[in-house]
Chain A
């Protein structure tokens, strides 16, 4: 296999600290050695590479920006972003696993959980010994999560949970689900453990996207959960939305990784592929496409690094994250589509990555706040008119 050359036309490498570079390089090497050789086959078979989960744990990739106290790496947000970038260079499904575990399971337990919940769950989730999922979206409540139907009712020392969740990454393989449900009309977080009566998580099969990732439905039929399993500090819709901000931040970086992978593939291919007696990279139309992609990746890289620096300073707004997620995923999707096209017929095969990234990014475009919803979030911020209310 060709050596991966991650494009960095504006030498953003020089803006990173030594640790940030080392973190990126370590994850890049891991993805090259352990993800790239297997990912096309996983994708074709529609299987998540379960054997990699302990490896994620050994390398501290899970919840990597959470404190060392809970067994995590304590990275700053830029280094955490770079982890996501490198994982998604492998596959959006691999990055999705880490995003869900870190930003949507460990982060809410860390932010809204009790000390007992944190001490019990976070170290196990950090090593990959336990797997988590996040249930907010429902069959009839997607972009409008406030309209959720899942309800919790107090019953002595328990809560009784009823309802269902949809499009849940890791659902079927999860040991614990962070489930958002209305309790007396207010959205609260609950920890629902695998195996409890009335809880099932069937896998959603027959997908054309994120095939190397488990997507599930969560069904709660009079599930009786102990009262200690509520996330005590969760209050209202802003709690799950704060988790989504964390995850979207990771996606913003991840999309760059997918685009870099496609650009690298396009450059290599067009330099080697000869037609009319010369490399197709020598044709003006090809160069135009390469330059356009390079420009868009470079713009995204600069903006995303600044987003990370703002987040590390604690002055990043959720609207900043929306703008960058919106931009980067569309950029990556367009990049993958153009590169698929540049590879000609070869581009539709599993020998190349572009089509896999292209199909994956269709999901990434939709999940964690659709492209259009992010438009409205930023639109509302700059005009004062919330179009979705």
Chain B
């Protein structure tokens, strides 16, 4: 089975975000970049499918500037076979532009399954899977927590409000991965040493103009300082009273 994992490089979730001097973008000078955590589930699932079937190929597809190489190497170190890097300059691209560019490259590729995280943790747009599926006219199952590969079709469990939905789809298909799908592996040291020797194909594609533009970024309002009501059991009545009258949560 040929599997493509779409992987995005995002700022480390521990990054203290600072708004840049233009007021519209994030200051990137001291940002540490990592592989999007939801994409780790996609990589792990792809590797598990390949291992279970005993054959196949896992290709990582990533779009972004030069720095994206380190996210690609991470995926290769985990065990993917090869990579395609669509090079762009460092400007922000909206979901429309990215999905168009990825689809253009995917159209020229052979694949049975496309896996990716359900969302990227930087812009949280949650659009990439469905958008690419629409452009390629293939099925997309999003927010998947369990995936079973059968002859000619897949069965996926997805989280829905208050329960689980079980979906069947034919290949090729797109799956967007949710936490709980699997436990992503660490890159082993041998994997890291081998990653350098794996092929990374560089591609350039015409990037469509963005359909969205950011007007302004603002910090969330500062949180009000908390209040300590007292200590021990004797403080409980006062706490209950304040939760009822002041905070109005009970």
How far, in Å, is B84 (CB) from chain A's closest CB? 19
B1 interfacial by beta-carbon distance below 8 Å: no
Residues of B within 8 A of A75 (CB): 189, 193
User: Across chains A and B, which 9 residue pairs bring their CB atoms closest together, nearest first?
Assistant: A73-B189, A60-B189, A22-B192, A60-B190, A60-B188, A3-B14, A73-B190, A26-B187, A59-B188
In the docked arrangement, what's the CA distance between A3 and B192, Å? 24
User: Mind listing 13 A-B residue pairs with CB under 8 Å?
Assistant: A19-B193, A22-B73, A23-B189, A26-B77, A26-B187, A26-B192, A58-B188, A61-B189, A64-B189, A68-B190, A73-B189, A74-B190, A74-B193
Q: Does A269 contact B (CB under 8 A)?
A: no
Partner of B187, one of A3, A22, A61: A22
B140-196 contacts to A (CB < 8 Å): 186-190, 192-193, 195-196
Interface residues of A in 24-49 (CB under 8 A from B): 26, 29-30
Closest to A22 in B: B192
Beyond A18-B70, A18-B73, whether A23 also contacts B190 by CB under 8 A is no
For the complex, give the distance between the alpha carbons of A59 and B189 in Å.
6
Chain B: number of interface residues, binned into ranges: 10 to 19
A83: interface (CB < 8 Å): yes
CB distance from B187 to the nearest CB of A (A): 5
A172 CA to B196 CA, complexed, in Å: 40
**Residues of B contacting A18 with CB < 8 Å?**
69-70, 73, 196
Q: Known A18-B73, A22-B77, A22-B187; judge A73-B193 contact (CB<8 A).
A: yes
Is B74 an interface residue when CB atoms closer than 8 A count as contact?
yes
> How long is the Cα–Cα vector from A29 to B13 in the complex, in angstroms?
14
Nearest CB in chain B: distance from A222 CB, A: 42
Nearest-neighbour CB distance to chain A for B125, whole angstroms, equals 26
B186 pairs with A29, CB closer than 8 A: yes
Question: Which residues of chain B are within 8 angstroms of A58 by Cβ–Cβ distance?
Answer: 188
| Contact A22 B74, beta carbon cutoff 8 Å | yes
Bound Cα distance from A23 to B195, whole angstroms: 12
Q: A18-B70, A30-B186, A59-B186 are in contact. Are A23 and B192 (CB under 8 A)?
A: yes
A243, chain B: closest CB distance, angstroms: 21
Q: How far is the CB of A33 from chain B (nearest CB, A)?
A: 9
* Alpha-carbon gap, A133 to B209, bound state (A): 63
Contact pattern, A 5-32, Cβ under 8 Å of B = 1, otherwise 0: 0000000000000110011001001100
- Residue among B70, B186, B195 with the most chain A CB within 10 A? B186
**Residue from A58, A68, A73 whose CB has the most chain B CB atoms within 10 Å:** A73
- Distance in angstroms from A165 CB to nearest chain B CB is 31
Closest residue on chain B to residue A76 by CB atoms: B193
Residues of A contacting B70 in the complex (Cβ-Cβ under 8 angstroms): 18, 22
CB < 8 Å neighbour of A83 from B14, B74, B189: B189
Considering the chains assembled together, what is the distance between the CA atoms of A59 and B195 in angstroms? 15
Cα-based distance from A29 to B190 in the complex (angstroms): 16
Complex: chain B residue closest to A4, CB-CB = B14
Give min CB distance, A60 to chain B, whole Å.
4
Q: How far is the CA of A59 from the CA of B187 in the complex (A)?
A: 7
User: When each residue 76-115 of chain A gets 1 if its CB lies under 8 Å from chain B and 0 otherwise, what string results?
Assistant: 0001000100000000000000000000000000000000
A26 to B35 CA separation, bound complex (whole angstroms): 13
Per-position binary interface string of chain B over residues 188-231, scored 1 when its CB falls under 8 Å from any chain A CB and 0 otherwise: 11101101100000000000000000000000000000000000
**CA A123 to CA B99, docked complex, whole Å:** 46
Closest to B14 in A: A3
Residues of B within 8 A of A68 (CB): 190, 193
Q: Give Cα distance in the complex from A18 to B69, angstroms.
A: 10
Nearest CB of chain B from residue A236's CB, rounded to whole Å: 33
Please indicate the chain B residues that have their CB under 8 angstroms from the CB of A3 in the complex: 14
Please encode chain B, from 1 to 38, with 1 for each CB lying within 8 Å of some chain A CB and 0 for all others: 00000000000001000000000000000000000000
Least Cβ–Cβ distance between B78 and chain A, in angstroms: 10
Please indicate the chain A residues that have their CB under 8 angstroms from the CB of B69 in the complex: 18
Given contacts A29-B186, A83-B189, 7 further A-B contacts (CB under 8 A): A18-B73, A19-B192, A22-B195, A26-B187, A26-B192, A58-B188, A74-B193
B73, B77, B188, B193 — which one has the most chain A CB atoms within 10 A of its CB?
B193
Contacts of B74 in A (CB 8 A): 22
**Considering the complex, which residues of chain B in the window 73-115 have a beta carbon less than 8 Å from any beta carbon of chain A?**
73-74, 77
